Chains A and B, each alone.
Chain A
């Protein structure tokens, strides 16, 4: 897998600096990548990875620093110059206009035109269809409106758009965060083809060390806007890399699991159906962490939304402490002591109010408690919010600052933390660690374990099977709208979960 690492670096970045006010997003960042290599860029949230990507793509003008591709200096500062230098970027926050079709998006900024200057829809359609087929994404309709595509299809369009520019330097910014398993395999195949054909260097920005190990030839670890180290990832030592990323040793990512609680269930679902979800039954006991696993779009989202009163329950029923309940809205679920953290598939659409302060975000579900005759007692509200911030290990300034100014990890902690104040009896956590760095992950794990130890019942869906395996007392798998039987902690393995997630058949490459 490893490309020869003898020649001079093809991509050479020196001393990039970019400050936003007093925050140094990039603080003298360097990077070297060999020609034709797949080079990983990893680091915690806020380490400067996205700013680095944006600088290379021409979206952010650096205060200082240089970048060279193939020995030629790149004029940093406009997307146009970046494209001319052969840089193509597939962004994590997609650069697609939702109201335009796939073909219209991919033909930006200069769609094919006839000699009168009229844009030719046919030419851009056929060019797009050709590109999609060439990169094995022919199932995507060039005429489909991007806004109507699934998140993973959008990400594929974004990636094909970058590939189709036949770049010298391809930047993939957290490309797998939005992809399901088959699409990740698709991406790896395309990167493999690119590597085989040579002539294109790839920067692969990722959180997932397993992917980096599988795909990349070399890596740069970033911390605090600088290069903290670089390595040949075929000799990857996970602990060393994690240490480079966080600058200290992280004793243990997962907290110790408490003994499996017994006793009567707090929350029970009896064959509930809602939209795509056809039949789900579960029993959640006091202090239990029950895991839900499943590939994308198998009904788990509807399960969570139905339990929270955000979606209608078509049939079956929900019991709380053995009594049948019906939640007409999230408001009635909150009153019954149910909290939810739905990590939005696309950030900031559900869960957080980005322009409002951390305090307002934290106390929103429980505002009634701090209000008398509708007048909010700010001191009491602030005290409660501050206590939550301390428990979450977030700096006090988050009380007043708009949530959008916080890091992604802290935003996520606040989304979960509001249910701390609410003292929710049941927490529904839907992929709570998506897109957050290892340190924040470990903090969220600790938080979940503490909540459970304190008697809160937790229903946890995660795309990261390690979380299900290491955090949960039991787990159930969602497959094609049906929830399987519970698997006890002693039988929770990657293989057992994957087998059910794939409908009982374990493909060879996964089993290996």
Chain B
């Protein structure tokens, strides 16, 4: 821990604090609010509820973060989620009933879909937004082809394994933790270094001998792998299939990434922040519900919170200009008022 603490302290002193700090502050504030307005806020039951609600958003956000760090955007995750969800409900029985095999197949399909995105972006040089929107359409159609209306079910054992409890903790929280650890591992592999280098400046990375195209394929494949894990957890929690696209979730996903401190544009940020960001959004929703705010006001609050989180860094990056234009003007006017013609 010591080198980590030392590193964080050095970055804070150097005026370049890790982006996750902001989201941790937001989380702390929300936890206090949550604890004070919610009854039995930290009981087993409500924790289970929060963990399950957070898991889908958080795990998808981890995948999205990988793509954003590489300098891209991924619009496909909710479609991957819907597709794999109905795939599980309709096709899993053909896999011989082994949950482990089923899980591996689902995650592998997720990774393969991601790899296709990666090939489109890395080798065919299609802009990530275009490539992943195309994938989004294909998969949302594919989901409807497999199952044309909500329905179906998965075995109870499967549901319990991924959305019940693992000893003292909710299974969903365990899955989130595993995904977080997996991200930390990825970040510290050579791939992780290449990922940040490509997102920061792809041409520079290429000149330094980084295999840019391969890194991009791996980036989207890992993202797809995380979407696969999210689909497993989501299907276990809902225990049924639903081919419809959850557009709100797609937008929340980007919000979670941003609140977590990962800047759009690439090269910085991290997925742990996105998990924190997802948790913040779920807590916020729960708080608003508890105090009786009508549900149609909730998005308004979301929007305000998102802006509030982003504003400091937007101001910080242009601090001088901002200070000059708005905060310091009175002094400036006074200093030169005598000379005004």
| Chain A residues within 8 Å of B, Cβ to Cβ | 57, 59, 79-80, 83, 89, 91, 93-100, 104-105, 107-111, 113, 117-119, 143, 145, 148, 161, 311-315, 317, 323-326
Contact residue among B197, B267, B328, B339 (Cβ-Cβ distance under 8 Å from A317): B339
B209 and A96: CB pair below 8 A?
no
A98 and B205: CB pair below 8 A?
no
Interface residues on B, range: 35 or more
Q: Closest CB of chain B to A46's CB: distance in Å?
A: 20
B192 CB-CB contact with A under 8 Å: yes
B16 and A145: CB pair below 8 A?
yes
- Can you give 7 A-B contacts (C-beta < 8 A)? A59-B207, A83-B209, A109-B209, A145-B16, A312-B332, A317-B336, A326-B340
Complex Cα distance, B270 from A118, in Å, reads 17
Complex Cα distance, B281 from A312, in Å, reads 40
Q: CB-CB < 8 A to B210: which residues of A?
A: 108-109
B209 and A108: CB pair below 8 A?
yes
A109 and B188: CB pair below 8 A?
no
A96 and B190: CB pair below 8 A?
no
Q: CB-CB < 8 A to A79: which residues of B?
A: 206-209
Question: Which 3 residue pairs of A and B lie closest in terms of their CB atoms, listed nearest first?
Answer: A97-B200, A99-B267, A324-B339
A329: nearest chain-B partner, CB-CB: B325
B16 and A109: CB pair below 8 A?
no
Q: Closest CB of chain B to A487's CB: distance in Å?
A: 28
Say whether, besides A148-B16, A325-B341, A97 and B336 are in contact (CB < 8 Å): no
Q: Closest CB of chain A to B81's CB: distance in Å?
A: 30
Complex Cα distance, B256 from A398, in Å, reads 45
B10 and A97: CB pair below 8 A?
no
B188 and A119: CB pair below 8 A?
yes
B29 CB-CB contact with A under 8 Å: no
Q: CB-CB < 8 A to A325: which residues of B?
A: 341
Say whether, besides A79-B209, A118-B189, A324-B341, A97 and B201 are in contact (CB < 8 Å): yes
Say whether, besides A108-B193, A317-B336, A324-B341, A97 and B205 are in contact (CB < 8 Å): yes
| Residues 300-341 of B at the A interface (beta carbon under 8 Å) | 320, 324, 328, 332, 335-336, 339-341
Q: CB-CB < 8 A to B244: which residues of A?
A: none
B190 and A326: CB pair below 8 A?
no
Beyond A79-B207, A100-B267, A105-B197, 5 additional contacts (C-beta under 8 Å) are A94-B204, A95-B208, A97-B201, A313-B332, A314-B335
A104 and B193: CB pair below 8 A?
yes
Say whether, besides A317-B339, A324-B341, A326-B339, A100 and B196 are in contact (CB < 8 Å): yes
A95 and B268: CB pair below 8 A?
no
Q: CB-CB < 8 A to A311: which residues of B?
A: 320, 324
A118: nearest chain-B partner, CB-CB: B188
B205 and A108: CB pair below 8 A?
yes
A323 and B189: CB pair below 8 A?
no
Q: CB-CB < 8 A to B199: which residues of A?
A: 99
B208 and A109: CB pair below 8 A?
yes
Q: CB-CB < 8 A to A108: which residues of B?
A: 193-194, 197, 205, 208-210
B211 CB-CB contact with A under 8 Å: yes
A99 and B189: CB pair below 8 A?
no
Q: CB-CB < 8 A to A57: which residues of B?
A: 207
Q: Closest CB of chain B to A228's CB: distance in Å?
A: 28
1/0 per residue, CB under 8 A from A, across B43-61: the answer is 0000000000000000000
B197 and A97: CB pair below 8 A?
yes
Complex Cα distance, B197 from A105, in Å, reads 8
Complex Cα distance, B320 from A83, in Å, reads 42
A97 and B211: CB pair below 8 A?
no
Q: CB-CB < 8 A to A99: which residues of B?
A: 196, 199-200, 266-268
B331: nearest chain-A partner, CB-CB: A314
Complex Cα distance, B336 from A317, in Å, reads 7
A119 and B193: CB pair below 8 A?
yes
Q: CB-CB < 8 A to A313: which residues of B?
A: 332, 336
